Amino acid sequence: MESIRDLKQLDLLAGGSTALHRLDPRAKVLVTAIFIVLVISFGRYELAALLPFMIFPIVMVVLANLPPLFIIQKILLVTPFVILIGIFNPLFDREIVIQLGALGISGGWISFTSILVRSALTVGAAFILIATTGFTAVCQALEQMGMPQVFAVQLLFLYRYIFVLNEEGSRASKARELRSCGRNNLSLGSYTSLVGHLLLRTWQRAERIHMSMLARGFVGRFHARRQSRFGRTELWFVLGWVTLFLLLRFINIPQRLGSLLTGVSV
């Protein structure tokens, strides 16, 4: 339930009035997509080169006046799943690639840390995109950029269906508590019946919502919270960030700084 409230909070944050919020959604979607592609394109041992990419989420949070702790908390929610993916890397890749005095760091630990950093950057960028644009506007931008309309509409409906499922789940859980007289140890059959009724109730609720949308003239078109156009400001926004991303991707800034400080060329 907490995660559902967080999704609603992201939509509320998208109603901000900063200059970043007022940008055309296509510009923000394009920049975020390029950022994610370039971040995941790094090799598994390239850890230091990822650090300069942190400038993008930091600047976006500051410009959009987003609560940093809220974004960090959302990133941390995904971290356990990322740890499960990379936790075995140190066991299978034990070759020492970095020697810090008497301490040797294996390639497995480097790749594991790289996975954590890349996931934090990409997940954080996605959350920031939703918090500055709104999910409806993101779907509209994807359609305008070439995604088939049916896919964009289905993506939006899937997002909205989460809230319908949450509401029906809350009602079903409350009804179960009232009927069980405080007993929590229900049988497997009771839980199976509860899930089945939940899916049926949610399906019926979704059908009623769809009928209401049709009655109000819904024809598969998006109605964004604010109307915008792709102008000169959006063009400079895209060109500026993409140029910076490409420089950071093909020039290892930490390595260059280390070479200047130590006087050793790598």
How far apart CA 141 and CA 153 sit, in angstroms, is 12
Whether 174 and 125 share a structural domain: no
Whether 231 and 186 share a structural domain: no
Give the domain range for residue 97.
1-134+225-266
List, in order, residues 6 or more apart from 74 with CB less than 8 Å away: 6, 123, 124, 127
Q: Is the pLDDT of residue 257 over 80?
A: yes
Q: What is the pTM of this model?
A: 0.81
Tell me the mean pLDDT in the region 221-235: 76
DSSP SS3 for 260:
helix
Whether 51 and 34 share a structural domain: yes
Q: How confident is the model at residue 185 (pLDDT cuts 50, 70, 90)?
A: low
How far apart CA 108 and CA 89 sit, in angstroms, is 5
- Scanning 134-218, the segments in alpha helix (DSSP H) are 135-144, 149-179, 188-215
In angstroms, how far apart are the furthest CA atoms of the chain?
75
pLDDT for the residue numbered 67:
92
Of 119, 110, 49, residue with least CA distance to 84: 119
Tell me the mean pLDDT in the region 201-224: 76
Give how far Cα 102 sits from Cα of 62, 157, 258, Å: 41, 56, 21
**Could you give the dihedral angle defined by the CA atoms of residues 171, 172, 177 and 179, in that order, rounded to the nearest 10 degrees?**
110
Q: pLDDT for 5-30, tens place per residue?
A: 666 788 788 888 899 999 999 999 99
Q: Is residue 140 part of a domain?
A: no
Tell me the mean pLDDT in the region 173-191: 67
Whether 68 and 185 share a structural domain: no
Q: How confident is the model at residue 39 (pLDDT cuts 50, 70, 90)?
A: very high
Supply the mean pLDDT for the chain. 83
Q: pLDDT for 44-89, tens place per residue?
A: 888 889 999 999 999 999 999 999 999 998 888 888 888 888 888 8
Tell me the mean pLDDT in the region 147-170: 78
pLDDT for the residue numbered 171:
74
- What is the helix, strand, coil percentage profile of the chain, to 5? 75, 5, 25
Tell me the mean pLDDT in the region 237-247: 96
Whether 180 and 105 share a structural domain: no
Residues listed for the chain? 266
Q: Is residue 139 part of a domain?
A: no
